[in-house]
Structure 1
Amino acid sequence: MLKLLGLSGSPSVKPRCSKTLIAIEMAMEFAGKFNPSVSTEIINLRDHDVQFCDGRNPEEYEGVTQEIIKKIQAADGLLVATPMYRGSYTGILKNIFDIIPNDALAGKPVGLIATAASDHHYLALEHELKPLLGFFHAFVLPGSVYINNDHYSEKTLIDVGIIDRLRQLGEGVVRLYEHLPQEALGASGPVIIRKVLTT
């Protein structure tokens, strides 16, 4: 059974007002409909008190932070969604990538969703998130979904083209997982020995 995990990086504090959360929920629903054996879960990072990265080993984090790390490690595939602020993804999402182990995403299919007020930062998906996931040796779907405010009405996603792209993304993560040979990861990264600083 494919465990598909969604990460919503929106810091929106208003209930049910996160366009990012609305989008990832729809993509996850499409994935589940495409293959009913898929197990889906969404972590809305805004709802969790995740510790800030402070350089310690990932296994040393505690509480909900450790629970999220373990869920990411246990996932077979991911959908990652973020608003675009100042041309980049959010700080709470970046913090997650800072605390997980280097091999937490290796060999896993990942689909990307971004939301923004306009189309100005469309290429941030290509220039910001895809290289980051490449560092983790994840298989990122070539096609991502970028959504602007005009695609919504009263917090409802109404653009049929965007809705269909979310369907393609959700289904695509499942399809890629079903066909991924783990031996196709390519060259491993350099071994980085973590040094413990003492005072």
Structure 2
Amino acid sequence: MADASAEGRPDYTTCMGWLAQFADSELNRLEKPPALAAHMTSEAWRALSFGHGLIQVARLIERQVDTDFARPAGLSVAGFRIVSALKLNGPQAPSQLADQLGLTRASVTSSLDTLERDRLVVRAPQPDDGRRLLITLTPEGDSVIEDFLKWLSDQPEQEWFESLTRDELVVLDHLLRKAGAQRPPESQARHTVKRRPPRRRGETNSS
């Protein structure tokens, strides 16, 4: 790429131009498996493939963070995510943490019990509503994040993104932030699949 910012990184226009060329040359070659050809459009298949790829990368990173940092630090994955969210976004209600992290209320409550026992967070009534709790990170909890950042700075990026160039990482970062900020309107109807009735013993599929 010819254009670059003062820091040596490609500007937004250059990145988007590269992405358009990549989409024309690569994504159009992404064919649906024959078994799915009759069940979804090409656009739906690409979205499914992209989402699956994101999940794979996220699990790879989460697994390494859990194995090499969180567990040695005495944290569960959920506990580490809660501490990280409090560091990034400040004090929050338990329900906010559950919604933000995609955790159940029960999982958040259980994790908060452990974090509070270990003096990493404190629970206190909200100033404007004493019936609701506000979760705040303690100095000890803050030090956990500082330790994590030191650990993270020692991890070579190649382990997670070795197949991507610097320019590609810039584009990926932008697209992930854009996708993560997307929220469907409250009025938009959501399509959910009905739960299948439990199969009785000895029952077989009917064709």
* TM norm. shorter chain > 0.5: no
> What range describes the TM-score normalised by the shorter chain of this pair?
under 0.3
Q: Whose Rg is larger?
A: 2
TM-score of the aligned structures, taking structure 2 as reference length: 0.21
Q: Which has the higher strand share?
A: 1
